[in-house]
Every structure is written in structure tokens, then in C-alpha cells.
């Protein structure tokens, strides 16, 4: 088990390093304007060159890479230029994290509770009305871009219910709509996955044997099918967790929530290169970390994986 | 021992498939006596599994019992519709084990738990007492170090061991009837013998009545008290093993026995039955085997033969047994087989 | 009476044995594509949407050639006052109204639909073609497998949102940027899927036998793999369109979408979003959103319906 964890950690680390390097190199292709802010046109070419040199952007790329890693190891993610000039990126991102985190956790909780239950009900009522309604919901969420339906939800739900349109931390009620909206996609995902899994498992031989043993269908569902369902799900859980925590870009900008997702949108719109670079890196690392955790979780829950690793390959 | 433990009367089972109706079982009748082993033989698609699945109400969702009766315990269980009714039978009175031990157990739960489950369901045992009994059963079926093996997972057992575990699960609640659907087909020959021996021992120990479904006549020869021969959803011959092997009356049984490779003569092509089983979507007039039977009578194509009695324990559904029919000798291979075996008997 | 007895007696004589009839006795009327089409047609929703989509697509293509259509970029001014006809409600003159600078929304919507569909189809075709070719090579040439799998693991670890954002940011928004970035990210999953299928099939016994007999690799691929792939291809193409539209909307949302001179469903929705707080102007949001929703839902449902119909397990 430990060996498996270490092996996976090692590979994830390699992936992270590769990603960091690739992002870094790609960012070097970015337009120069992002380093200058409004003053770009007013500067003479020599002045621009001087500024670029002082930021280390004209050094050979392997030197830049080395400096970048050194700075990274010291926790220096660069300094913002346009968004908040001269302020270290880390300082800008820091306060945003709690908001994204909190919303993300609430949304995950909602998604899991509602989605899984919905999937079970759908599998049980397969072909009947409840199943069709659920499928209709999932189809809608999957087909229509989130930006579109979230927009309409904000528009019409606030009209009909009088909930506040924008988030403000002084109004607890303003948490409700954004968090609920955030969970919609997750509900669809979990419901669809759970339903498909349960339907697939219901055809398996060991389920036939369990029924032939005299187990009532509900017990078979719960003790065998649902129990088995959690194993593959464990693999995807950390990823969805972390990605939601990273902040939903749409929700945050729609409701003006001061989180990381909104920050990314702003940074892009204002073309603040260091900020964009740092955010992209953070998101990428979060994603990779999520996958790593997922693999570990799955190894914990699925006895077949653990043992295969222990005894070597069969 | 005169009253059978299970009696099937003229059972008709239909399936709805691709918008059409398929009659999988076309009026089959048989009976199972207390403590005996009945083997049901037939080709793939003859309806063996479907028939036995109907005994525990596990037909696929698109199938149903159209007419006929299954008498068990004084009741017609073919009438059962709700799961609640079937739960009184499944595992408790009639247990079934399937062919493939590799997929029959939940890979993510320990073996012991899967047996304890049954105990909890039917005998109300809980926790430690359930575990104790489960360990007992495990060692009963011949698993060494049962206590340790209790907490292991299915993939840690070999194929034969897994089948023993499956048998243990089935036997956990002392059912009256055990249905074995090709239990040895997926196993090595040596393991086959062990499993067959295990079932035989359990049968003696617990006064079990066993139904074996198989297409392997070798297995039939070693375990069966009585044999039912199935073809195209119908039981065409039913009798004791001796009677069916040495004194078969139905042309299909002759054809089946003739196809045993052991009866082949060296240097000559092996016998195989020409043609294929009939399409069960349409009604079949007369004897279903007639188109493939070189010795068929005209009436075989028109009217379905009733069961003719050959002996108190032996019936066959063939017009050849009608007094009006011409005398027909079984094929030479069968006659040779009978001569050889009669000669070998004391 | 005597004829009945005679007849009865004659029944007990031997019948003619017809070996041919024996072979004919059992048959199966199963045809894979027949069952697939039949199952698909049984899905009323999918069929209805198919009809709607065909009509819509045809219309989208022929719309510019119909009489009386206006240009999507032309800013309309009132003939009397010379003032721009901004934010005009849907009317006989402008069927979908005009936007905030006086452009005909009807023309813009259809132009936007063309753009979005074009992007979607292009990306879809690319994904399928390159995905299959690369996937087949990846699966069949064992030496490549290791390298490609490691590459795939790294690349699939990075969220697509990030890659797309990054590429769009660096390459600056345009139709080609969109297409390039979407193509770059989408073919991996397809290739991986095809590779898995190839690996499974490659090691199946009947293929080993073929190779022993000297069948060239190319023939094995085309005969054993390709027919199965057709259903996958159709599914992928159908789903590519809602996916591409989704990504396009996302990029537009974060400010990396197409410029307004190239209308697309994404930036039309975005335009509408900016003025959505005024109820009378909401038509500028609702109409593009409705068209977008109809298109995405239709393709999604049709794609899934076809996928379900082509799964042999459902052919009972």
C-alpha cells in the first residue's frame, strides 16, 4: 500500500513539474502588452526593453526557468502588474481562497446528497416517470452551457423569490442561490453516474446469486450495488471536490463573489500576465493533486488494487 | 417416497423478444422425488436454465409463466407474483448455484460476509453466531483453514474453491432442493470430480434433492438417479439413468447418445445430428424433433405425441411408442452400446 | 369412417426425410444495423429532434440566399431621422429586433449559428479523424504505447478549462484560435478510446489467427475495428457540437471569445447578458439563448439516443 502511494505521488510530482515548465514556456509566448499596463504605447522601445530586462524576461529561457523555480520554492509567484500593481500575486490570491472554499464545500455537499439519491431513485424507477424527469434534467444540464442556464436562474429566480442578486458577505441569505446554482452540475453528474452504475451492476452474476439466495431487492441494492458503487466514485471525488473549491468561474462573476474564479476572469480581461500565469499554475496543480488523491482513495476502497500491488503483478 | 417434492405440470413459459413472443417452454412436465438427483440434459437453448429459473421466480423481466403449474410444498408456486412470496422459497427452500464461480461472488466483499448474509436473512443469526456458523459451513464444504479464509476476498480463491464457497452460500440455510446449473462446466476435469463428490456428500448428509442441469452426459452418468431429456422447450424423455441410457425410446435421445465421442469408431467420422433446433417464435405442430429425424413418421409432423409409459418410472414423448407405429430399431451405434454394456454388467 | 381409419393408418408410415429442411428449421433474423435503426426510431423524442434539426440546419445554410435578408453587420439607421435603430423590439421589419447598435438580430442569429455550427463540426470531424488514426496507431504499434500513455496521463491531468484559457489567451481570440485550441484538447480522449479498443481486439484470438495466416495489419484494422467504430464516430460527432458551443460560451464569458464582427451564439448571448436587467431588452438574450439551447439539447439527445440504439446489449 505504501509503495503504491509513493509511486503515485512520484508520478504526480513529475506531472506537476512538467506542467509547470510547459505553462511557463507557453506564457513566454504571451503578448508583451501584458507586462506594461496602460503605459505600453507611451514608452519608447528602449524603455520597454529595459523594463522587460529588469523583469528578467529577456534572459535565455533556461535561465528564466531556473529563476522561476527558485522564486517558486521561496513561495514567490510573481508580482501583479496591472490588476494591483506591485502587489505580490500571492497576496492577491490569498484572501480569495476562503470564499471559493466555502462555496465549493457547500456545493459539493448538496451535489452529493441530491445527486446520489436521485441516481438511486432513477435506477429503481427505470423507464418510469421519475426516471424520465431525472434524465430530462441531466440532459438539460449537460447540453446547455452552464453560462446560459446559470444566467437565467439568476435572472428569474431572484425575480420570483426576491433573493438578492449579488452576493454580499453581510447578508447570509445571499449565499443560498449561488451555492445552489453551483451544485446543479454536480447533481446531474452524480445522478447520471449512479444510475448507470446501478443499472450495470444489476445485471451481474453475483447479483443474480444474491437474489437466488433469497435477498430482497432493496437489500441487494443497498448492500451490494450501492456499496460497490462507492469504489469507482471514490476515484473522482477528490477531483470534483478540488475543482469546485477552486471556484466556479461563472458563479463567482455572476454573483460578484470575491473568489479565485472571478479573479481569473479579471486577470484575463486586464491581461495581467503574472497573475494569469500564477492562477493557471494553481489550477493545474489542484487538478493533478485531485487525481492523485482519487487514486489513493480508490486503492483504499478496492481490495483488488491493494493486493495486486502488494504481491506484484500476477 | 411416493409423493414428489416438486412436480411440474404442463408448464408453458413465454418471452417477449424484439416485439415477438417466444415460447421457451412448451408444456413440460416432470417430477422430483425426495432425496434423488435428477439430471436435465439437453443442448444449449433447449430451455434447461429457463425451466429451473422459473422454480425460484428468477425469469428475466420479459418472461412469464403462461400456463401450467409448479407444485411445491402443497402450493402452486407458478402463481407467485410478488417478490415477497418468492423470498419464502429462494435460498430457504430451493437454492440455486450457477455456472461461473469467477463472477458469482461480489468481488468487493469478503467471502465470509456473503455467507453470513444468507444466515442473517433466513435464520436470524447475527454477528458472532452468524460468523461461527458460516465458518462451520465453509469447512463443511471442504475449505481448509475456514476461520482464516472467512475474511478473504473472492479473488484470493481458486476456481474450484470459489465454487465451493458458492455451494456453501447456497447450503447455508439447508434448502430442500438444490439446483445446480452447469456447476462444473467452467472447471478443470479434476476439480469437476471434487465438486461432484462434494455435492453428493452434502446430499447424503442433508437429505437434499438435487437437480443437475448439464449438457455433459459424462456428468449425468456419474451423478444422476433419474434423467430428463429436454429438446426445444419440452421434456421428451424421463426415466431412471439406467433406463435412459440402456433403453432409450425417443429418437432425440438416440441421437444425443450417439453423439458421445466414446461411441465413435476409430477412423470414421464422429456422429452429429444434422440440422438445428427449431425457431421457438412460431408454433410447432407435432414433434419438434421431426425435421431432424430420419426415421420420423408422418404423424410426427402433424400432432404432438403424448407421454407414453414404458415402465412405472420411464416415459417418452414419441409416436414410435404408439401401438399403431411400425417397429423401429434404434441406430446401430445405440444397439452396439447396449450390447457392450449389457455384456459388462454382472 | 374408413377413410379416417385409413388416414390414421397412413399417418403411421415414414415421412420423407429432408436434410435441407432440417438445416432451415432454426434461424435468427437479427441484423445489427436493422436493430440499431429500429431502436433509434422507437425513440420518439430523438426522431422529433432529428427532424427539427434537419429543418434548422437546412434553413441556416440557405438563409442568406433567401430574399429580403439583411447583413448581420450592417448598422441600420432610420431613413427619416438618420438615427441608429437601436434596441428595436421584434417587428415585421426586424423579425428578431435589433441589438444595441442597430444591427439586425435575425441576421446575426443565423450568422452566429453558422459560425458556432461550423466550429463544432470542424472540431468534431477533426476529433474523430485524428483521434481514430492516432488511436489506431497508438494501439497497434506496441512500441508507441508506453510513450503515448505517459503523455496522455500528463495531458489529461490538466483541466481542459485551463488549457483552453491559456491557448486562447496566448493566441488571441479568433475563429482559428478557437478551432485550434479545441481540436488540440479534444482528440486525446478519442484516441485513447480507440487505442483501448484496438488493444482489446488486437489480442483476441481471431486476430492472432489472422496474423498467423499473414493478413496484413491494415486489413485487420479495416475489417474488424472500423464497423464498430462507425457508431462511435456518429456519437462523437453529435456530441461535439454542444461541447464546442459550450467551450465557446465559456471562452466568451471570460473575455476570450470571438470579436463581435464575427457573430457567434456565444457572443450573442454575452451581448444579451449585458443588457438583461432591462426587461424590454431581454429579447436580445432570450432569443439567442433559446436557439442555442434547442441546438445543444437536440444534438445531445440524438447522440445519446443513437449510442443507446447501437449498443448490442439493448437489441433485445
Q: Which residue has the higher pLDDT, B274 or A137?
A: A137
Q: Which residue has the higher pLDDT, C258 or A63?
A: C258
The verdict on domain B228-344 having CATH code 3.40.50.970 is no
State whether residue C278 sits within 8 Å of chain B by CB: no
| Residue from the list B276, B297, B322 with its beta carbon closest to the beta carbon of C23 | B276
Q: How many Å is the maximal CA-CA distance in chain C?
A: 111
- Chain B residues with CB under 8 Å of A228 CB are 106, 108
Percent of chain A with pLDDT over 90: 1
Q: What confidence tier does A31 reach under pLDDT thresholds 50, 70, 90?
A: low
Query: Is a pLDDT exceeding 80 seen at residue C2?
Result: no
Chains within contact range of chain A (3+ C-beta pairs < 8 Å): B, C
Question: Which range, of A202-211, A284-293, B310-319, C249-258, averages the lowest pLDDT?
Answer: A284-293
pLDDT at position C142 is: 76
Q: What confidence tier does A313 reach under pLDDT thresholds 50, 70, 90?
A: very low
Q: Provide the chain C residues 16-45 that lie in CB contact (below 8 A) with chain B.
A: 17-19, 21-23, 25-27, 35
Look-up of cell digits 468481488: B107
What mean pLDDT do residues C259-279 have? 85
pTM: 0.72
How close is the nearest chain A Cα to the Cα of B40, in Å? 20
Residue B60 CA to its chain's centroid (Å): 18
- Chain C residues with CB under 8 Å of A249 CB are 161, 250, 253-254
Q: What angle is formed at CA C194 by the lines to CA C190 and CA C198, rounded to 5 degrees?
A: 170
Residue B45 cell numbers, joined: 437453448
Residue C7 cell numbers, joined: 388416414
pLDDT at position B280 is: 82
Q: Which residue has the higher pLDDT, C71 or C7?
A: C71
pLDDT at position A198 is: 80
Q: Which residue has the higher pLDDT, C186 or C14?
A: C186
How close is the nearest chain B Cα to the Cα of A231, in Å? 9
pLDDT at position B309 is: 92
Residue B307 is classified by DSSP as: P
How close is the nearest chain B Cα to the Cα of C23, in Å? 4
Contact yes or no for A158/A178 (Cβ under 8 A): no
What mean pLDDT do residues C89-102 have? 82
Report the C-alpha gap between B101 and B183 in whole angstroms: 8
Cβ distance B92 to A204 less than 8 Å, yes or no, reads: no
Query: Is a pLDDT exceeding 90 seen at residue C63?
Result: no
Residue C301: which of C53, C32, C91 has the closest Cα? C53
Instruction: Supply the DSSP string of C134-185, one letter for each residue.
Output: HHHHHHH-HHHHHHHHHHHHHHHHS-HHHHHHHHHHHH-SSHHHHHHHHHHH
Chains within contact range of chain B (3+ C-beta pairs < 8 Å): A, C
Q: Which residue has the higher pLDDT, A236 or C127?
A: C127
Query: Is a pLDDT exceeding 90 seen at residue B237?
Result: yes
What mean pLDDT do residues C301-314 have? 80
Query: Is a pLDDT exceeding 80 seen at residue A34?
Result: no
pLDDT at position C168 is: 81
Residue of B nearest to C30 (CA): B18
Residue B80 cell numbers, joined: 407467485
pLDDT at position B41 is: 92
What mean pLDDT do residues B227-240 have? 92
Q: What angle is formed at CA B132 by the lines to CA B128 and CA B135, rounded to 5 degrees?
A: 135
* Interior/surface letters C257-279, b for 16+ CB within 10 angstroms, e for the rest: bbebebbbbbbbbbbbbeebeee
pLDDT at position A309 is: 38
Q: Which residue has the higher pLDDT, C47 or C74?
A: C47
What mean pLDDT do residues C102-124 have? 88
How close is the nearest chain A Cα to the Cα of B285, in Å? 35
State whether residue A300 sits within 8 Å of chain B by CB: no
Chains within contact range of chain C (3+ C-beta pairs < 8 Å): A, B
Q: What confidence tier does A84 reach under pLDDT thresholds 50, 70, 90?
A: confident
Task: Classify C258 in phi/psi space as left (phi over 0), alpha (psi -120 to 50) or beta.
Answer: beta
Beta bridge partners of C75: C103
Q: Give B56's contacts (C-beta < 8 A, 6+ positions apart).
A: A212, B86, B89, B90, B94, B96, B179
Question: Spelled out in words, what is the top-level CATH class assigned to the domain B6-224?
Answer: alpha beta
Q: What confidence tier does B118 reach under pLDDT thresholds 50, 70, 90?
A: confident
Question: Which range, of A124-133, A301-310, B248-257, averages the lowest pLDDT?
Answer: A301-310
Query: Is a pLDDT exceeding 70 seen at residue C151?
Result: yes
Query: Is a pLDDT exceeding 60 seen at residue A310?
Result: no
pLDDT at position C50 is: 92
The pLDDT tens digits for B50-93 are 999 999 888 888 889 999 999 998 889 888 888 888 888 888 89
Question: Which range, of A88-102, B293-307, C97-111, averages the lowest pLDDT?
Answer: A88-102
Cβ distance B276 to C26 less than 8 Å, yes or no, reads: yes
Report the C-alpha gap between A167 and A254 in whole angstroms: 9
Query: Is a pLDDT exceeding 80 seen at residue A248?
Result: no
Cβ distance C293 to A144 less than 8 Å, yes or no, reads: yes
Task: Classify B142 in phi/psi space as left (phi over 0), alpha (psi -120 to 50) or beta.
Answer: left
Select the residue from A21, A30, A131, A148 to test the C interface by mutation, using most C Cβ atoms within 10 A: A148
| Residue from the list C15, C35, C316 with its beta carbon closest to the beta carbon of B300 | C15
- Chain B residues with CB under 8 Å of A217 CB are 83
Contact yes or no for A250/C252 (Cβ under 8 A): no
Query: Is a pLDDT exceeding 50 seen at residue A308?
Result: no
Q: Which residue has the higher pLDDT, C11 or C24?
A: C11
- If you compute the radius of gyration of chain B from its CA atoms, what whole number of angstroms results? 21
Instruction: Supply the DSSP string of A32-91, one letter for each residue.
Output: GGGGTGGGGTTS-HHHHHHHHHHTTTTS-HHHHHHHHHHHHHTT---B-SSSSTT-BHHH
Cβ distance A148 to C253 less than 8 Å, yes or no, reads: no
Question: Which range, of A27-31, A148-152, B290-294, C94-98, averages the lowest pLDDT?
Answer: A27-31
Query: Is a pLDDT exceeding 60 seen at residue C40?
Result: yes
Residue B201 cell numbers, joined: 456428500
Query: Are both B6-224 and B228-344 of the same fold?
Result: yes
Size of interface A-B (CB pairs under 8 A): 80
Torsion sign, CA atoms C98, C99, C103, C104 = negative
Percent of chain B with pLDDT over 70: 97
Cβ distance C256 to A23 less than 8 Å, yes or no, reads: no
Give chain C's length.
Answer: 316
Query: Is a pLDDT exceeding 80 seen at residue B229?
Result: yes
* Interior/surface letters B192-216, b for 16+ CB within 10 angstroms, e for the rest: bebbbebbeebbeeeebbbbbbbbe
The pLDDT tens digits for B140-189 are 888 888 888 888 888 888 888 999 999 998 888 889 999 999 888 888 88
Q: Which of A28-42, A79-93, A111-125, A156-170 has the highest mean pLDDT?
A: A111-125
Cβ distance C14 to B295 less than 8 Å, yes or no, reads: yes
CATH superfamily of C33-314: MetI-like (1.10.3720.10)
Cβ distance B298 to C12 less than 8 Å, yes or no, reads: yes
What mean pLDDT do residues A49-72 have? 74
Q: Provide the chain B residues 89-128 that lie in CB contact (below 8 A) with chain A.
A: 89-92, 95-98, 100, 103-109, 114, 117-118, 121-122
Decide: residue C144, CB within 10 A, 0-12 exposed, 13-18 middle, 19+ buried: middle
Question: Which range, of B8-17, B216-225, C136-145, averages the lowest pLDDT?
Answer: C136-145
Q: How many Å is the maximal CA-CA distance in chain B?
A: 68
| Residue from the list C245, C255, C293 with its beta carbon closest to the beta carbon of A268 | C255
- Kindly list the domain boundaries of chain C, sorted by start residue: 33-314
Q: What confidence tier does A151 reach under pLDDT thresholds 50, 70, 90?
A: confident
State whether residue C7 sits within 8 Å of chain B by CB: no
pLDDT at position A252 is: 82
State whether residue C5 sits within 8 Å of chain B by CB: no
ipTM above 0.85, yes or no: no
Question: Which range, of A69-73, B229-233, B302-306, averages the lowest pLDDT?
Answer: A69-73
Report the C-alpha gap between B39 and B35 in whole angstroms: 13
Residue of B nearest to C35 (CA): B18
- Kindly list the domain boundaries of chain B, sorted by start residue: 6-224, 228-344
State whether residue B82 sits within 8 Å of chain A by CB: no
Question: Which range, of A249-263, B56-70, C215-229, averages the lowest pLDDT?
Answer: C215-229
Helix, strand or coil, per DSSP, at residue B153? coil
Residue B13 is classified by DSSP as: E
Tell me which H or E stretch contains B9. strand B6-17
Amino acid at each position: 500500500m505504501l509503495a503504491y502511494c509513493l509511486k503515485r505521488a512520484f508520478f504526480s510530482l513529475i506531472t506537476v513539474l512538467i506542467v509547470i515548465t510547459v505553462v511557463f514556456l507557453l506564457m513566454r509566448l504571451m503578448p508583451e502588452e501584458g507586462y506594461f499596463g496602460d503605459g505600453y504605447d507611451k514608452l519608447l522601445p528602449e524603455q520597454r526593453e529595459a523594463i522587460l530586462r529588469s523583469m528578467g524576461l529577456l534572459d535565455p529561457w533556461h535561465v528564466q526557468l531556473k529563476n522561476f523555480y527558485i522564486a517558486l520554492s521561496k513561495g514567490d509567484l510573481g508580482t501583479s502588474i496591472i490588476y494591483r500593481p506591485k502587489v505580490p500575486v500571492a497576496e492577491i490570491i490569498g484572501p480569495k481562497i476562503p470564499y471559493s472554499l466555502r462555496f465549493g464545500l457547500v456545493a459539493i455537499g448538496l451535489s452529493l446528497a441530491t445527486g446520489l439519491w436521485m441516481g438511486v431513485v432513477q435506477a429503481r424507477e427505470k423507464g418510469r416517470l421519475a426516471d424520465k424527469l431525472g434524465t430530462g434534467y441531466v440532459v438539460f444540464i449537460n447540453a446547455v452551457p452552464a453560462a446560459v442556464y446559470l444566467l437565467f436562474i439568476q435572472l428569474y429566480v431572484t425575480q420570483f423569490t426576491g433573493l438578492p442578486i449579488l452576493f454580499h458577505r453581510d447578508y447570509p441569505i445571499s449565499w443560498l442561490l449561488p451555492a445552489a446554482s453551483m451544485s446543479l452540475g454536480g447533481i446531474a453528474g452524480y445522478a447520471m453516474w449512479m444510475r448507470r452504475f446501478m443499472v450495470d451492476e444489476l445485471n451481474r452474476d453475483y447479483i443474480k446469486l444474491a437474489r437466488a439466495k433469497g435477498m430482497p431487492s432493496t437489500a441487494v441494492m443497498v448492500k451490494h450495488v450501492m456499496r460497490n458503487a462507492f469504489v469507482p466514485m471514490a476515484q473522482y471525488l477528490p477531483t470534483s471536490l478540488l475543482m469546485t473549491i477552486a471556484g466556479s468561474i461563472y458563479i463567482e462573476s455572476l454573483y460578484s463573489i470575491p473568489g479565485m474564479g472571478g479573479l481569473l476572469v479579471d486577470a484575463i480581461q486586464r491581461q495581467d500576465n503574472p497573475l494569469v500565469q500564477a492562477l493557471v499554475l494553481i489550477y493545474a496543480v489542484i487538478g493533478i493533486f485531485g487525481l492523485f488523491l482519487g487514486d489513493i482513495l480508490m486503492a483504499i476502497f478496492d481490495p483488488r488494487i491493494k493486493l495486486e500491488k502488494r504481491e506484484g503483478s500476477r | 417416497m411416493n409423493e414428489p417434492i416438486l412436480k411440474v405440470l404442463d408448464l408453458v413459459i413465454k418471452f417477449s423478444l424484439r416485439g415477438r413472443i417466444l415460447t421457451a417452454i412448451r408444456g413440460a412436465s416432470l417430477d422430483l422425488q425426495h432425496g434423488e438427483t435428477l439430471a436435465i440434459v439437453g443442448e444449449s437453448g433447449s430451455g434447461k436454465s429457463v425451466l429451473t429459473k422459473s422454480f425460484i421466480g428468477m425469469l428475466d423481466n420479459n418472461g412469464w409463466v403462461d400456463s401450467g403449474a409448479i407444485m411445491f410444498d402443497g402450493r402452486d408456486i407458478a402463481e407467485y407474483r410478488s417478490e415477497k412470496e418468492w423470498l419464502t422459497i429462494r435460498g430457504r427452500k430451493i437454492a440455486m448455484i450457477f455456472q461461473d464461480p469467477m463472477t458469482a461472488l461480489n468481488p468487493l466483499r469478503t467471502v465470509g460476509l456473503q455467507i453470513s448474509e444468507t444466515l442473517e436473512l433466513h435464520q436470524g443469526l447475527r454477528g458472532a453466531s452468524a460468523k461461527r456458523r458460516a465458518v462451520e459451513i465453509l469447512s463443511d464444504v471442504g475449505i481448509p483453514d475456514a476461520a482464516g479464509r472467512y475474511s478473504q476476498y473472492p479473488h484470493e480463491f481458486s476456481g474450484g474453491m470459489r465454487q465451493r464457497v458458492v455451494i456453501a452460500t447456497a447450503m447455508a440455510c439447508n434448502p430442500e432442493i438444490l439446483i445446480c446449473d452447469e456447476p462444473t462446466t467452467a472447471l478443470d476435469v479434476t476439480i469437476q470430480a471434487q465438486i461432484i463428490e462434494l455435492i453428493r456428500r452434502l446430499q447424503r448428509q442433508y437429505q437434499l434433492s438435487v437437480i443437475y442441469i448439464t449438457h455433459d452426459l459424462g456428468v449425468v452418468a456419474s451423478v444422476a438417479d433419474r434423467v430428463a431429456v429436454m429438446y426445444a422447450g419440452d421434456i421428451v424423455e424421463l426415466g431412471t439413468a439406467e433406463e435412459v441410457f440402456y433403453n432409450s425410446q425417443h429418437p432425440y435421445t438416440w441421437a444425443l447418445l450417439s453423439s458421445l465421442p466414446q461411441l465413435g469408431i476409430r477412423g470414421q467420422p464422429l456422429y452429429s445430428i444434422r440440422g438445428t433446433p427449431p425457431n421457438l417464435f412460431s408454433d410447432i405442430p407435432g414433434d419438434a424433433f421431426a425435421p431432424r429425424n430420419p426415421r420420423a413418421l408422418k404423424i410426427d409432423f402433424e400432432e404432438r405425441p403424448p407421454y407414453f409409459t414404458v415402465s412405472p418410472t420411464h416415459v417418452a414423448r414419441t409416436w414410435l411408442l404408439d401401438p399403431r407405429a411400425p417397429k423401429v430399431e434404434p441406430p446401430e451405434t445405440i444397439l452396439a452400446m447396449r450390447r457392450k454394456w449389457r455384456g459388462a454388467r454382472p | 369412417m374408413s377413410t379416417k381409419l385409413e388416414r390414421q393408418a397412413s399417418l403411421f408410415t415414414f415421412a420423407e426425410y429432408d436434410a435441407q429442411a432440417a438445416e432451415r428449421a432454426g434461424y435468427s433474423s437479427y441484423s445489427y444495423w436493422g436493430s440499431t435503426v429500429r431502436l433509434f426510431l422507437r425513440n420518439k423524442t430523438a426522431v422529433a429532434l432529428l427532424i427539427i434539426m434537419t429543418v434548422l440546419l437546412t434553413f441556416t445554410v440557405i438563409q442568406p440566399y433567401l430574399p429580403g435578408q439583411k447583413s448581420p453587420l450592417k448598422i441600420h439607421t432610420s431613413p427619416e431621422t438618420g438615427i441608429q435603430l437601436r434596441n428595436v423590439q421584434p417587428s415585421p421589419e426586424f423579425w428578431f429586433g435589433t441589438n444595441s447598435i442597430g444591427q439586425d438580430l435575425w441576421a446575426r442569429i443565423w450568422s452566429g449559428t453558422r459560425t458556432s455550427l461550423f466550429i463544432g463540426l470542424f472540431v468534431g470531424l477533426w476529433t474523430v479523424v485524428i483521434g481514430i488514426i492516432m488511436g489506431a496507431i497508438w494501439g497497434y504499434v506496441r512500441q508507441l504505447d508506453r510513450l503515448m500513455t505517459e503523455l496522455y496521463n500528463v495531458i489529461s491531468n490538466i483541466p481542459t478549462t485551463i488549457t483552453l484559457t491559456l491557448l486562447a489567451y496566448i493566441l488571441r481570440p479568433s475563429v482559428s484560435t478557437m478551432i485550434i485550441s479545441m481540436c488540440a484538447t479534444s482528440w486525446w480522449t478519442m484516441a485513447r478510446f480507440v487505442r483501448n479498443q484496438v488493444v482489446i481486439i488486437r489480442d483476441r484470438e481471431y486476430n492472432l489467427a489472422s496474423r498467423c495466416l499473414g493478413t496484413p495489419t491494415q486489413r485487420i484494422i479495416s475489417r474488424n475495428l472500423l464497423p464498430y467504430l462507425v457508431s462511435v464516430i456518429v456519437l462523437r460527432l453529435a456530441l461535439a457540437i454542444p461541447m464546442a458551443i459550450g467551450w465557446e460560451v465559456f471562452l466568451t464569458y471570460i473575455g476570450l471569445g470571438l470579436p463581435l464582427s464575427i457573430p457567434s451564439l456565444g457572443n450573442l448571448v454575452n451581448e444579451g447578458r449585458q443588457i438583461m436587467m432591462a426587461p424590454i431588452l431581454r429579447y436580445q438574450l432570450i432569443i439567442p439563448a433559446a436557439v442555442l439551447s434547442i441546438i445543444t439539447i437536440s444534438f445531445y439527445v440524438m447522440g445519446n439516443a443513437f449510442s443507446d440504439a447501437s449498443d448490442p446489449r439493448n437489441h433485445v
